A and B are shown apart, each in its own frame.
Chain A
Amino acid sequence: MSAAFVVIAGLGLGTYALKAAGPLLLGGRALPPRLERVAQQLPAALLASLVVVSTVAADRALVVDARLAGVAAAGVALRLRAPFVVVVAVAVAVTGVARALGG
């Protein structure tokens, strides 16, 4: 068995344990009120951080490149109430064009 398969087994099991703790141990029970409030607030923070990291992070540096133009265009599209698919398509197109122009 190669080292890669050992990593797949170890990382796979560990990751599954992290993923399954909530659904298996909590089941369908409601969360305590304070945790429920945190759970309602968590997505905004996580999504915002995902936007930032996937837009301006390159490994461990903050960089401004064509992605930022694309995501800004996505913001404009959202403001204009464009559907989800259009928002993503606009971001891809603007990023591609900005990069072709040397962004």
Chain B
Amino acid sequence: MADDRSAPDAGPGDRLRRRQIERQALSISVALAPFGLVFGVACVQAGLGLAEAIGFSALVFTGSAQFAAVGVLGDGGGVAAAISAGLLLNIRSLAFGVLLAPALTGPRWLRALFAQLVIDESTAVATSQTERRWQRYGFLAGGLGVFTVWNLSTVVGVLLATDDAFIEDLGLDAAAPAAFLALLWPRLVGPGGAQGRRIAFAGAVVAAAAVPLAPPGIPILLAGLGVLAAGRGPVPRGGDVA
């Protein structure tokens, strides 16, 4: 996972930062293991085999879209419906890619490889850093960590394919929201925290309001679009977005 060109060890401060990023990436990767397990189970329930499950987790590699597409297939939906359900959820990947682009420099073939790792979690770890080189390191650590854990846990899920009640029994479904909250936290406190709180509040309100109205995945997209709209004015105000 270590990429020496993107994270040079120049001193103790850098090593500390590097370890902090790696811990974040590891935590968020491990937090996704239960969902990978559930995805594997969902594949079996939809009548898919190990090859299809790995195909989804390695080639599509976006959790929510995978769940949506497999759900449509399991419900007897058509190929076009399954693809469009997944793509609709992934429009936010476009925003993440644009957001990450300045940190993902290098030859075209390398950027082409990086692109596959553009997901919610790698974006979250990357954007919790302010310097480009640490954003890049966070992106790689988060992306590769999640890719590894996601695919392994998908395989285990297919092989187990029993019931998924243990995830809820153990409270593992709270791991992801807690991880997202921890990544959001630095933007709510400290310098610039007031603006961060306004934006976060607006995003939260938009998402909550949209959950009953729109299919899964869309509320997150709407929260992002709300910020785009608010960004036009001189000072973004929370109330504008909702």
Cβ A61 vs Cβ B212 within 8 A: yes
Name the distance in Å between B57's Cβ and chain A's nearest Cβ.
10
Closest chain A residue to B64 by CB distance? A53
- Asked if B86 is at the interface (CB within 8 A of a chain A CB), the reply is yes
- Asked if B171 is at the interface (CB within 8 A of a chain A CB), the reply is yes
Tell me the B208-242 residues at the A interface (CB within 8 Å).
Answer: 208, 211-216, 219-220, 222-224, 226-228, 230-231, 236, 241
Chain A 11-29 against B: per-residue CB contact (8 Å), 1 yes, 0 no?
1101110111111101111
| A1-B237 Cα distance, complex, nearest whole Å | 51
Cβ A21 vs Cβ B171 within 8 A: no
Name the distance in Å between B3's Cβ and chain A's nearest Cβ.
16
Tell me the A7-60 residues at the B interface (CB within 8 Å).
Answer: 7-12, 14-16, 18-24, 26-31, 34-35, 37-39, 41-57, 59-60
Name the distance in Å between A24's Cβ and chain B's nearest Cβ.
5
- Asked if B161 is at the interface (CB within 8 A of a chain A CB), the reply is no
Cβ A49 vs Cβ B223 within 8 A: yes
**Residue among A6, A30, A48 having the largest count of chain B Cβ atoms under 10 Å:** A48
Q: A43-B187, A59-B216 are in contact. Are A23 and B101 (CB under 8 A)?
A: yes
Give the chain A neighbours of B227 by CB distance below 8 A: 38, 41-42, 44-45
Cβ B97 vs Cβ A93 within 8 A: no
Closest chain A residue to B47 by CB distance? A4
Q: Please, could you name 9 A-B residue pairs with CB atoms under 8 Å apart, sorted by A?
A: A3-B73, A4-B48, A8-B59, A18-B94, A29-B102, A41-B227, A48-B200, A49-B206, A99-B169
Query: Which residues of B are at the interface with A, using a C-beta cutoff of 8 A?
Result: 23-24, 26-27, 31, 48, 52, 55-56, 59-62, 65, 69, 73, 78-79, 82-83, 86-87, 90-102, 104-106, 108, 111-112, 114-116, 118, 120, 123-124, 127-128, 168-185, 187-188, 195-196, 199-204, 206-208, 211-216, 219-220, 222-224, 226-228, 230-231, 236, 241
Q: Which 8 A-B pairs have the closest CB atoms?
A: A22-B97, A96-B171, A95-B171, A45-B203, A91-B178, A49-B207, A70-B174, A49-B223
Query: Which residues of A are at the interface with B, using a C-beta cutoff of 8 A?
Result: 2-12, 14-16, 18-24, 26-31, 34-35, 37-39, 41-57, 59-62, 66-67, 70-71, 74-75, 78, 83-85, 87-88, 90-100
